[in-house]
């Protein structure tokens, strides 16, 4: 029986008296989703082998053989010629088995001083570090695209909303810069998360470290890690870094979803603030006139998918004792899908932002529908000496009169306005214009066009 199991190349065959059933193999195997870690598994193995040779744990010839074998494996994987075997369970054993076929005993010596526990933890960190760098670059591209759109429309006025009711005039450029800020915070979170991802678990072995004279700092330097994980138990069982990434990713998608909601509303013919390029939309199978904003709608839906992955990882870890447990195999698919979803979404949104056509006339018309300059009139009266609460009440009466007449505040005559306060003078009409309203918010963070342009300059300086 032992001989029979050995033919199947089970890593622990001598311990067991019967083979694993086919159902259990399928249930416990991860190779068909964790094979995406192959590049990083090879990187980690080469750094580990280099250290083993430097420490005299394996020979220089073994190191050269391992390097030669790994180069061939990389070529086979790149060419799609590598055979992934379910019997070998995961990416690590598949690569190790092929390496041993290619270079013999040197391949068997590679695993000296490490375990799959610290090996997989290292692979995931290498993978996630790479993914964070890609996502950070995509966040930059999206912020640049939105900044370009903001610059084109630094003077374009639309209504700002609270409670989905017209509140005050803002510029479309200012509105776009709000998302630039959101995605900027996302970039900061990704950079901060990367610091905790970039610590090396390798050397923790199964859970307690190893008896071999390893040099963990050398491996960390070779792989570009900032530090090593300081406790072997924690090193193999920690998935905080993956949870933290998924939390940051969930916020990215939340911001994408908020933007998507506005794009969907703005594109509706009942609103008509924008149009989205045809390549991001689809039609209807039955209604020939339809142009549906499928990309923002789907991104809004995919946000729930990423949120779910965060909860899945939190739930996965909440009941685990130290150290490694098989439960942790379930960390990969949610993590991989989160990376894929965020990466694809950001890439397509950066392109889509450059395909947005703004309809300034529709925005301007909407700004006149909700007495958007009412607060400006109240501020005007305060500057004339009226207490704010009294000014607020006076303007409320003026708005009520406009509602009854079906007109805007700017349509009232000077005599009409003086009925609500004798402090009103000829200069009031500048205050009641949309341009006057936005220009008056002339401070850092305000919607005045010159402040929008100043904010754009700051963003461009930050992004380089």
136 as an active site residue: the answer is: no
CA separation for the pair 49, 456 (Å, rounded): 49
Nearest to 447 by CA among 243, 235, 207, 169: 169
* Residue 179 to residues 94, 172, 185, 382, Cα–Cα distance (Å): 45, 11, 10, 32
Q: What sign does the dihedral 57-59-60-62 (CA atoms) show?
A: negative
CA separation for the pair 218, 172 (Å, rounded): 52
Pair 125, 197: CB distance under 8 Å: yes
Pair 276, 352: CB distance under 8 Å: yes
In the chain the first and final C-alpha atoms are separated, in Å, by: 65
Pair 146, 353: CB distance under 8 Å: yes
CA separation for the pair 204, 56 (Å, rounded): 19
Nearest to 24 by CA among 319, 326, 239, 236: 326
Q: Which two tokens stand for residue 389?
A: 């609460």
Per-residue DSSP letters for 71-94? HHHHHHHHTT-----GGG-SHHHH
Question: 3-class DSSP state for residue 269?
Answer: coil
CA separation for the pair 429, 263 (Å, rounded): 33
92 as an active site residue: the answer is: no
Q: Which two tokens stand for residue 242?
A: 């993956």
- Which of 6, 59, 75, 284 is catalytic? The answer is 284
- Which of 163, 285, 413, 443 is catalytic? The answer is 163
CA separation for the pair 376, 140 (Å, rounded): 36
Cis status of the peptide bond prior to 323, with omega within 30 of 0:
yes
Catalytic center residues: 163, 284
């Amino acid at each position: 029986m032992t001989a029979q199991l050995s033919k199947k190349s089970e890593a622990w065959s001598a311990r067991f008296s019967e083979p694993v059933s086919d159902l259990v193999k399928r249930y416990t195997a991860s190779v068909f989703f964790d094979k995406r870690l192959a590049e990083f598994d090879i990187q980690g193995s080469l750094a580990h082998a280099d250290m083993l040779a430097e420490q005299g744990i394996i020979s220089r010839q073994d190191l050269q053989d391992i390097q030669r074998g790994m180069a061939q494996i990389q070529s086979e994987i790149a060419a799609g010629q590598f055979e992934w075997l379910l019997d070998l369970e995961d990416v690590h054993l598949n690569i190790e088995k092929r390496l041993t076929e290619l270079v013999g005993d040197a391949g068997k010596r590679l695993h000296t001083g490490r375990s799959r526990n610290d090996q997989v933890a290292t692979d995931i960190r290498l993978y996630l570090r790479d993914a964070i760098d890609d996502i950070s670059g995509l966040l930059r591209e999206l912020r640049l695209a939105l900044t370009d759109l903001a610059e084109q429309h630094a003077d374009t006025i639309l209504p700002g909303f609270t409670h989905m009711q017209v509140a005050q005039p803002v510029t479309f450029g200012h509105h776009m810069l709000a998302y630039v800020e959101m995605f900027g915070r996302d970039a900061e979170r990704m950079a901060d998360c990367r610091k905790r991802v970039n610590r090396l678990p390798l050397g923790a072995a199964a859970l307690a470290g190893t008896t071999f004279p390893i040099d963990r700092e050398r491996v960390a330097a070779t792989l570009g890690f900032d530090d090593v994980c300081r406790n072997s138990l924690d090193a193999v069982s920690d998935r905080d870094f993956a949870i933290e990434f998924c939390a940051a990713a969930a916020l990215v998608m939340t911001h994408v979803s908020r933007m998507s909601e506005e794009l969907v509303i703005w594109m509706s013919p009942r609103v008509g603030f924008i149009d989205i390029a045809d390549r991001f939309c689809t039609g209807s199978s039955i209604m020939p006139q339809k142009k549906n904003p499928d990309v923002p709608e789907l991104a809004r839906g995919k946000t729930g998918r990423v949120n779910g992955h965060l909860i899945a990882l939190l739930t996965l870890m909440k009941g685990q004792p130290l150290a490694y447990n098989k439960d942790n195999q379930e960390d990969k698919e949610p993590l991989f899908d989160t990376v894929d979803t965020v990466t694809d979404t950001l890439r397509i949104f950066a392109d889509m932002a450059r395909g947005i056509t703004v309809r300034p006339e529709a925005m301007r018309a909407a700004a006149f529908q909700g007495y958007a300059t009412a607060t400006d009139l109240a501020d005007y009266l305060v500057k004339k000496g009226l207490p704010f609460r009294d000014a607020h009440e006076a303007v409320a009466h003026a708005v009520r009169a406009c509602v009854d007449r079906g007109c805007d505040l700017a349509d009232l005559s000077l005599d009409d306005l003086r009925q609500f306060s004798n402090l009103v003078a000829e200069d009031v009409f500048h205050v009641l214009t949309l341009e006057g309203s936005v220009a008056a918010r002339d401070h850092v963070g305000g919607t005045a066009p010159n402040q929008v342009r100043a904010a754009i300059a700051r963003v461009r300086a930050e992004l380089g």
